[in-house]
Chain A
Amino acid sequence: MLSDTDWSAIRLTLELASVTTALLLVIGTPIAWWLARTRSAWKGAVGAVVALPIVLPPTVIGFYLLVTMGPNGPVGQLTQSLGLGVLPFTFAGLVVASVFYSLPFVVQPIQNAFEAIGERPLEAAATLRASPIDSFFSVVLPLARPGYLTASVLGFAHTVGEFGVVLMIGGNIPDKTRVVSVQIYDHVEAMDYASAHWLSAGMVAFSFVVLLLLYTLNPSGRRA
């Protein structure tokens, strides 16, 4: 059925998706907040940048990440001067790529949730002398919970489903960058269809269950 390398790919994929989702919730919240509240002329541009990974082919993202994070690229030069080495072929590199790649799937549901809350609860909190930070944590976050649920599930699932970018910058290293989607690709190319079926069917089942849970527990999340 599943070999040791399959299990290690599954473990790695879950790890990557968890770390990525956690980071995205932290990074995505201020971006979503700003996008939901701002009247700045930059709103359109920032929103467009956040949404880019939805429309860009993974090859474009993978290619640019490989070049910019490589030893001659600007990001690569920076990480090298910080003593971090270069990011391609590392787990950290995959995390950076996934954060970028899954960003819209986390920011947009949270942004929608923030927009749906509107100004009034915040004004009410302010009249009760809640500081902005206090009202964010005790008013906004609880009200935005469905948005956060949707964002977490989509961010996680989308990272699990990532393939093209990982293929381009991962280098297929066991336990470091060989995630399930790449492992399936290897099985298919090596004509080991039985192993490919086990993992692929597992992915279908996993994705279905995740979306089913999302739509059942959080019907309003569908809009996001």
Chain B
Amino acid sequence: MQIRLSPLFAGLVVLGLSAPLHAAEVQVAVAANFTAPMQKIAADFEQATGHQAKLAFGATGKFYAQIKNGAPFEVLLAADDETPAKLEKEGAAVSGSRFTYAIGQLALWSAKPGYVDDKGAVLKQGAFDHLAIANPKLAPYGAAAVETLTKLGLLSGLESKFVQGENIAQTFQFVSTGNAELGFVALSQVVEGGKLKSGSAWIVPANLHSPIRQDVVVLAKGKDNPAAAALVRFLKTDTARAVIKSYGYEL
């Protein structure tokens, strides 16, 4: 069989080759809670540097397994600080490239306006069927939720009402569709530009759980990619930090 390259395809190849040399691509694994801010940051990043960040969103634990098994990710923005540290120790990440890019805030959220009060008293009343949390074994926000309930002395009473999302995005989905009346989500999912997008929320005070430090690390596959280094640098710029803060993260 004869293979013919169409002129269009040939043109695309030429275009691809003639793109400026400094514009590289970087494959980024992003914790689900950081989806919205990262999409903005990636757009800003592309504009500022010409590099392209290709984003994949998911649970940090899953990314760990994929990275250990040869996934092509070059940068990991984790939902915790343990996974990046572990990857670094195991030689799967570039040592010294790790830092905290955001400190996550936990929020108790309902899609219904006025359902969650600003002190979280709705938890004590317990007049609901389902409380959505992220799987505490896998997701730092889930672990923080369990910690919070433990401190409030409500864990044993509410455990039977738990429905677990495999990551924080799915947890949000359970609440936003109304299938769970309320749930512990990342503040970044329900806030934009410093304001609650919909429903009602209680921002869980930071003293009720250990801080959700989210670390970024350059992975072994991204060691020699200038775009990977540039992206990590970009996360420290004022532009990026302003975006991160506007979604309710601490820095």
Contact = CB atoms under 8 A, between A and B. Distances in A.
B54 interface: no
A72 B177 contact: yes
Given A72-B177, A171-B132, A185 B166 contact: yes
B173 interface: yes
Interface stretch (B36-44, B61-69, B188-196, B204-212): B61-69
Nearest to A68: B177
Given A70-B178, A72-B178, A171 B62 contact: no
B137 interface: yes
Identify whether the interface residues of A are mostly helix, strand, loop, or mixed.
Answer: loop
B177 A172 contact: no
Contact of B62 (A72, A173, A189): A189
B180 interface: yes
Given A70-B177, A89-B130, A190-B61, A171 B137 contact: no
Nearest to B171: A171
A173 B129 contact: no
A189 B61 contact: yes
Contacts, number: 62
A88 B65 contact: no
Nearest to B173: A66
Chain A: number of interface residues, binned into ranges:
20 to 34
Q: Max chain B CB contacts within 10 Å: which of A69, A188, A191?
A: A191
Given A70-B177, A71-B179, A89 B163 contact: yes
Chain B: number of interface residues, binned into ranges:
20 to 34
Contacts of A190: 61, 137-138
A69 to B, nearest CB: 8
Contacts of A191: 61, 64-65
A72 B111 CA distance: 12
B174 interface: yes
Contact of A172 (B62, B64, B164): B164
Contact of B135 (A86, A89, A169, A172): A172
Interface in A171-209: 171-173, 185-186, 188-191
Contact of A173 (B163, B166, B173): B163
Interface in B175-191: 177-180
A186 B177 contact: no
Interface of B: 59, 61-62, 64-65, 129-130, 132, 135, 137-138, 162-166, 170, 173-174, 177-180
20 contacts: A66-B173, A66-B177, A67-B177, A69-B179, A70-B177, A70-B178, A70-B179, A72-B178, A85-B129, A89-B163, A167-B166, A171-B132, A171-B163, A172-B163, A185-B166, A186-B135, A186-B137, A188-B62, A191-B61, A191-B64
Given A70-B178, A89-B174, A172-B135, 19 more contacts: A67-B177, A70-B177, A72-B178, A86-B179, A88-B174, A89-B163, A167-B166, A168-B170, A171-B132, A171-B162, A171-B165, A186-B135, A186-B166, A189-B59, A189-B65, A189-B137, A190-B137, A191-B64, A191-B65
